[in-house]
Amino acid sequence: MALCMGGGFELSLACDLRIAGSSVTAIGLPETRIGIFPGGGGTQRLPRIVGEARALEMILRGLTVTGQRAHEIGIVHEVVADPLARSLEIGAELLGRSAEGLAFAKRLTRSALDRPLAEGLADERKSFSTVMRTASAREGLRAGRPPAEIQKL
Enzyme catalytic residues: 10, 31
Question: 3-state DSSP: the chain helix, strand, coil percent, rounded to 5?
Answer: 60, 10, 25
Helix (H), strand (E) counts: the chain: 9, 5
C-alpha distances in Å from residue 68, one per residue of 20, 26, 41, 49, 72: 8, 10, 23, 16, 6
Please tell me what DSSP assigns to residue 133.
T
Query: Cα(59)–Cα(83) distance, rounded to whole angstroms?
Result: 25
* Residue 19, C-beta contacts closer than 8 angstroms, at least 6 positions apart: 76, 77, 78, 79, 80, 83, 86, 87, 90
134, 149, 19, 7: which is closest to 76 by C-alpha? 19
